[in-house]
Amino acid sequence: MGQFVLECLAVCLLITLVRCQQNGTFTFATSGDVGGGATDTPPGVDRLQRSSQKFALQFYQYVTELVDYNPNVTTTNIIVSPFSAWNLLTLITEGASGRTLEELLIALDVQQQEQIRNYYKPFAQSFSLLDRDVQLAAAQYVITDENRPVSKDFESALDNFYSPSVLQPMNFANRSLTYERVNRLVSDATQGHIPKAIEMSDLEDARLIMLSVLFFQGQWTIPFNRSFTTNVPFYDENEQPIGMVEMMFQRGIFPFAGYKELDAQILELPYGANRRLSMLLIMPRKGVPLVEVIRKLVAYGIDRVFDELDRSLVDFDDDEVEVHLPKFEFNSDYNLIPILNQMGIREAFDSGVANFDKISDLNAIYISSVIQQTKIVVNEEGTMTTAVTTGVFANKATPPRFLANRPFGFMIVNRQQRTILFAGQVKRPNLV
């Protein structure tokens, strides 16, 4: 037996610096280039889910625009974790006041901080899955300098409204030990796939470090067959060939719909036996840039996407879909401040006006960087048996086809809550 396994992981890192007492500024560097729920969901949790959805789609839009339009960004593939960023910002609200807090809540689409405090725990509880074919783990850490302790109220808020394990005091004076411990936290949470989240230089002026880690590994509910993978051309958005890719293939009954309002087709491929998580593959119509589809998706909403996918299974319950999907693997490493600026968060990053007086009575800190490291792997292992190979096909004439041989988008979602865990685009898969 063989399977296609998808691995996806993200680390969102925030570093606060001590504000300069004079007019100087700090500099920093980064290395390298991430619905409604069930009907019985309490209203407060449902509202938080919807806030996460809205944030995720806007975040996805601004990332694709940054990559497509900023000449300083040389990458074309994207993998980010909107949920990891959203998670990190919810923790940040506990230390913020005034306009700094107001900007954070507006970007999070939360009217009052009490909504987060009251419903974060039940909302986040569903983001830990561990079974035979799907693993999903989320972890958040606030790493403080034990030589410059944070306020007791801040500690209590993290303990009461989030988790007792969130707060991790360390001795920043011992930079080598702190460096080792922080990176070990991330390595353990991502099963060794991201061994280093910070550099030694990040600790020089750091007052506090926040981490949000999300790890996902899943097997397709209906595996692809390795023997059907072939080398085929892949094209850019101008329909020019860029090279050959390993194209996977299968035929099966999947949610699949065309969206006139989006100028796109969307296919859903589920993970695991319980199908709680799935990948949504977004293919624009020919001649339509992917970034335009993502923009329209923000207004369209994830609920309507799933409503149409569910309707497709009812209307075409026995229709199979031919799925052609390239193998791909890549990393992303972004400083998220330009994206969060676009979403209206500005004061938090300004050393002159940032208000984090709930973290420290001195109110002498601001956010110097928000870094997200993300990795995605879609690959195959082993071989399929002949019986399974034969079972892929059915006696159907001209089934509908999802052919991802040109740039496409994707989202990995919690289907029940309709929460977007990861999102990205593939414009240049691994060439052969």
In a domain, 211, yes or no: yes
Q: 340 and 317 in one domain? A: no
In a domain, 204, yes or no: yes
Q: 75 and 128 in one domain? A: yes
394: tokens are 């059915």
378: tokens are 């879609």
Asked if 7 contacts 220 with a C-beta cutoff of 8 angstroms, the reply is: no
Q: 289 and 245 in one domain? A: yes
- pLDDT tens-digit readout, 178-217: 999 999 988 888 878 778 888 888 888 888 888 888 888 8
Q: 184 and 96 in one domain? A: yes
CATH code at position 235: 2.30.39.10
Closest alpha carbon to 397 in 251, 245, 187: 251
Q: Give me the sheet containing 241-252, strands edge to edge.
A: 230-235, 241-252, 321-326, 401-403
Closest alpha carbon to 165 in 183, 140, 147, 185: 140
Q: 202 and 299 in one domain? A: no
Q: Which helix (H) or strand (E) holds 300?
A: helix 290-300
In a domain, 302, yes or no: yes
Q: 246 and 185 in one domain? A: no
184: tokens are 């070990």
In a domain, 315, yes or no: yes
Residues of the chain with pLDDT under 50: 1-4, 19-39, 380-397
Looking at residue 150, what DSSP letter applies?
Answer: P
Q: 257 and 333 in one domain? A: no
Three-state SS at 280:
strand
Secondary-structure percent of the chain, ordered helix, strand, coil, rounded to 5:
30, 35, 35
Q: 135 and 252 in one domain? A: no
- The reported pLDDT for the residue numbered 403 is 96
24: tokens are 């100087």
- The reported pLDDT for the residue numbered 16 is 62
In a domain, 91, yes or no: yes
Pairing of strands 2-18, 206-219: antiparallel
In a domain, 38, yes or no: no
Residue 272: domain span: 226-326+398-426
Q: 139 and 159 in one domain? A: yes
293: left (phi over 0), alpha (psi -120 to 50) or beta: alpha
Q: 311 and 367 in one domain? A: no
Q: 416 and 308 in one domain? A: yes
CATH code at position 50: 3.30.497.10
In a domain, 4, yes or no: no
Q: Per the structure, how many domains does the chain have?
A: 2
Q: 109 and 150 in one domain? A: yes
Rounded to a whole number of angstroms, the distance between the first and last alpha carbons of the chain is 25
What is the Cα–Cα distance from 136 to 128, expressed in whole angstroms? 5
Residue type, 127: F
What is the Cα–Cα distance from 182 to 195, expressed in whole angstroms? 10
In a domain, 64, yes or no: yes
- pLDDT tens-digit readout, 54-108: 999 999 999 999 988 887 777 789 999 999 999 999 999 999 999 999 999 999 9
- The reported pLDDT for the residue numbered 363 is 65
